[in-house]
Amino acid sequence: MIFNVPMETMPREELFKLQLERLRDTIRKAYERVPFHKQNFDKAAIKPEDIRSLEDLQKVPFMKKTDLRENYPFNLFAVDMKDVVRIHGSSGTKGKPTVVGYTKNDIDNWAEIVARSICAAGGLPGDIFHNGYGYGLFTGGLGLHYGIERLGAVAVPVSGGNTPRQITLIQDFKPRGISATPSYVLNIVEEMKKMGLDPRDTSLEYGIFGAEPWSEEMRVQLEESLGIKAIDIYGLSEVMGPGVSIECIEAQDGLHIAEDHFLAEIIDPETGEVLPNGETGELVFTSLTKEAFPVIRYRTGDIASLNPEKCQCGRTSMRMSRIKGRVDDMLIIRGVNVFPTEIEAVLLSFKELAPHYQVVIERDGALDRFEVHCELTAAYIQQSAAADNNPEYSALIQEIGTAMKNALGVSISLSIKQPNSIPRSDGKAVRIVDNRKRG
Ligand code: DLL
């Protein structure tokens, strides 16, 4: 741990003081400068002066993604446009993108937070770092980029896509670190194997993976296939981008939140009630230093839990669990709640299956029909016949079905396909394909 140690190992009492000071400042400015925040306070009949402790934050109403859409594009900015130096946004799969802004100080803080994150993942100044996150409105590419430079490492700004070129650059530049979505890194691995290369032979030692939910089983696949440490990084554009939290290489046991910049809460997604540490619910973040786009009690839609125990790495920051899934990605299959990562965990425990899958939802009369599409590995196809009259294959199908039922608590139909049937993505993987007609 070499980067900005004092902030990461600060005694918690001292941290709470710093957080309160920063919280009050954030709230005062947001109230004075952004009509949305003032209205939110007025609705709850509170004033910024009423926030005297960190607990008082619970009096403030939540902020949601719809608030960003309703204030599109710039109405939630708390500074003049002349002080904004960068815009980012979400991909906007449903309608317009959500837009966020940064001042120069915001970009500086973000670069430092990401530099700290890369350090936590085992990165060092001087490392060559292959950045496979997309550059653009998406925060992944530029977010990592500034952090790599701030650390004093060498940024290779490859962005996503063009997998053969990614492989050439990894072979030629010999990076120690890599970042991209975990699903895209598995595509790179697959492509290397197709080219007759052994992915374990690269110079890579650690990978910083996030921007989509992934399971422990996927970590095992990534670590074993590439011979690296796979580190989970979390963030969202509304709160800043990558670096809101990251695992440390020492423990790989929960993601350290950059608590000098972000305050985390876990709430019951149904009632909005704040849950005690350790309980699973929806993550809510309040920014403590952001100037252009402050967020106060922003509901992320992501499901996790919090752990305040000191970590073996020496950091004192609160850790959040790996994200289980998004509130809106939760499938309700015959009354049972299922997240795609739970399906992923089962599929990846079978070496006969490739780590690519989708859950396809169709409307069947009045009912919803869920089908898991997955594929056999090329190695399996070379050795065995994937035919119903092959007893070994039938036994495998049955075994997968049983494992799925045991893990999920409900049976789900499977469609096992030939290698390369599931669409690949060079960014966030599409895990749910919803073919139900709406309205
Ligand atoms: O995905 C920021 C990011 C870039 C994070 C690169 C990590 C690495 P958005 O496009 O706004 O920002 O999407 C944010 O992605 O609310 C989560 O649902 C999901 N997500 C991000 N990181 C993780 C993770 C970036 N480590 C949304 N595990 C978030 C699970 C994640 N889900």
Distance 234 CA to ligand 1 centre (A): 5
Q: Is the pLDDT of residue 91 over 90?
A: no
- Which atom number of ligand 1 is nearest to the Cα of residue 208? 8
Distance 257 CA to ligand 1 centre (A): 14
Q: CB of 215 closer than 6 A to ligand 1?
A: no
Q: CB of 97 closer than 6 A to ligand 1?
A: no
**66 with 106: CB under 8 angstroms?**
no
Distance between CA atoms of residues 225 and 214, nearest Å: 16
Token pair 């993108």 in the structure block, residue: 97
- The single-letter code of the amino acid at 395 is A
Q: Is the pLDDT of residue 197 over 50?
A: yes
Encoded tokens for 382: 């070379």
Structural domain spans, the chain: 1-326, 330-437
Q: CB of 211 closer than 6 A to ligand 1?
A: yes
The stretch 114-125 carries a mean pLDDT of 97
- Reported as a pLDDT band with limits 50, 70 and 90, residue 364 is confident
CATH topology of domain 330-437: GMP Synthetase; Chain A, domain 3 (3.30.300)
Beta bridge partners of 380: none
**Higher per-residue confidence, 285 vs 437:** 285
CATH topology of domain 1-326: Rossmann fold (3.40.50)
Distance 283 CA to ligand 1 centre (A): 13
Q: Is the pLDDT of residue 2 over 90?
A: no
Q: CB of 182 closer than 6 A to ligand 1?
A: no
What pLDDT does residue 6 have? 83
- Give the model confidence (pLDDT) of 376-416 as tens digits: 999 999 888 888 888 999 999 999 999 999 999 999 999 99
- Give the model confidence (pLDDT) of 230-268 as tens digits: 999 999 999 999 999 999 999 999 999 999 999 999 999
Testing ligand 1's pocket by substitution, the residue of 208, 212, 232 carrying the most ligand atoms inside 8 A of its CB is: 212
The stretch 347-355 carries a mean pLDDT of 96
**147 with 117: CB under 8 angstroms?**
yes
Q: What does the mean pLDDT of the chain come to? A: 95
Q: Is the pLDDT of residue 309 over 60?
A: yes
Q: Is the pLDDT of residue 78 over 60?
A: yes
Q: CB of 232 closer than 6 A to ligand 1?
A: yes
Q: CB of 292 closer than 6 A to ligand 1?
A: no
Distance 302 CA to ligand 1 centre (A): 9
What's the whole-model pTM score? 0.96
What pLDDT does residue 90 have? 84
- Give the model confidence (pLDDT) of 18-74 as tens digits: 999 999 999 999 999 999 999 999 999 999 999 999 999 999 999 999 999 999 999
Distance 114 CA to ligand 1 centre (A): 14
Q: CB of 323 closer than 6 A to ligand 1?
A: yes
- Which atom number of ligand 1 is nearest to the Cα of residue 238? 11
Among 179, 188, 171, 159, which Cα is nearest to 118's? 179
Q: Is the pLDDT of residue 347 over 90?
A: yes
Q: Is 197 exposed, middle or buried (0-12, 13-18, 19+ CB in 10 A)?
A: middle
Q: Is the pLDDT of residue 439 over 90?
A: no
What pLDDT does residue 387 have? 83
Distance between CA atoms of residues 172 and 226, nearest Å: 16
Distance between CA atoms of residues 220 and 217, nearest Å: 5
Distance 108 CA to ligand 1 centre (A): 20
What pLDDT does residue 97 have? 80
What pLDDT does residue 384 have? 85
What pLDDT does residue 129 have? 98
Query: Nearest residue CA, atom 15 of ligand 1?
Result: 211
Q: Is the pLDDT of residue 92 over 70?
A: no
What pLDDT does residue 180 have? 98
Task: Tell how strand 281-287 and strand 298-304 pair up.
Answer: antiparallel
Beta bridge partners of 306: 320
**Higher per-residue confidence, 379 vs 133:** 133
The stretch 182-190 carries a mean pLDDT of 97
Q: What is the 3-state secondary structure (H, E, C) of the chain?
A: CCCCHHHHHCCHHHHHHHHHHHHHHHHHHHHHHCHHHHHHHHHCCCCHHHCCCCHHHHHCCCECHHHHHHCCCCCCCCCCHHHCCEEEECCCCCCCCCEEEECHHHHHHHHHHHHHHHHHCCCCCCCEEEECCCCCCCHHHHHHHHHHHHHCCEEECCCCCCHHHHHHHHHHHCCCEEEECHHHHHHHHHHHHHCCCCHHHCCCCEEEEECCCCCHHHHHHHHHHHCCEEEEEEEECCCCEEEEEEECCCCCCCEEECCCCEEEEEECCCCCCECCCCCCEEEEEEECCCCCCCCCCEEEEEEECEECCCCCCCCCCCEECCCCEEHHHCEEECCEEECHHHHHHHHHCCCCEEEEEEEEEEEECCEEEEEEEEEECHHHHHHCCCCCCCHHHHHHHHHHHHHHHHHHCCCCEEEEECCCCCCCCCCCCCCEEECCCCC
Q: CB of 354 closer than 6 A to ligand 1?
A: no
Spatial CB neighbours of 328, under 8 Å, sequence gap ≥ 6: 301
Distance 139 CA to ligand 1 centre (A): 9
**102 with 81: CB under 8 angstroms?**
no
Distance 243 CA to ligand 1 centre (A): 10
- Give the model confidence (pLDDT) of 136-185 as tens digits: 999 999 999 999 999 999 999 999 999 999 999 999 999 999 999 999 99
The stretch 267-279 carries a mean pLDDT of 98
Distance 323 CA to ligand 1 centre (A): 9
